[in-house]
Amino acid sequence: MKGSLCHEYETGIPAEEVWQVYGTLRVGQLVQQLLPHLFHKVEVVEGDGGVGTILCITFPSGKGMGYYKEKFIKVDNENYIKEAIGLEGGALSRLFLLLSSN
């Protein structure tokens, strides 16, 4: 099974300034601080923020998602692009549970 999810968000801040946070591992720290109702914890399992980095994102209890692991497969600092693949947990677990129960 294959699928993709893309999200674009327009801000009033220059892309270079946004990338100084989003293009680094600091984004994980900030989402925990600014959005604790959505993200309980963001941990680096492996890597330094570049290609191959694996993150484990833990959601607050009661959200029904538990956790989600993703791996960065592309980090393009020149064009401000970051691509990741889901490894386990989150919507992946829910989808597979749904498919296996049918």
Report the CATH number that the domain containing residue 73 is assigned in CATH.
Answer: 3.30.530.20
Would you give the end-to-end CA distance of the chain in angstroms?
A: 16
Domain presence at residue 9: no
User: Would 71 be classed as within a structural domain?
Assistant: yes
Residue 49 domain-assigned? yes
∠ CA(92), CA(95), CA(98), 5° rounding? 150
pLDDT for 100 equals 39
Per residue in 24-75, pLDDT tens?
999 999 999 999 999 999 999 999 999 999 999 999 987 677 899 999 999 9
Which residues constitute the domain of residue 46? 15-101
Catalytic residues: 82
Q: What pLDDT shows up at residue 77?
A: 96
pLDDT confidence tier of residue 98, bands split at 50, 70 and 90: very low
Q: pTM for the full model?
A: 0.79
Total domains in the fold of the chain: 1
Rounded CA separation 49/11 (Å): 23
The answer as to whether 10 is a domain residue is: no
Identify the residue with better confidence: 16 or 10: 16
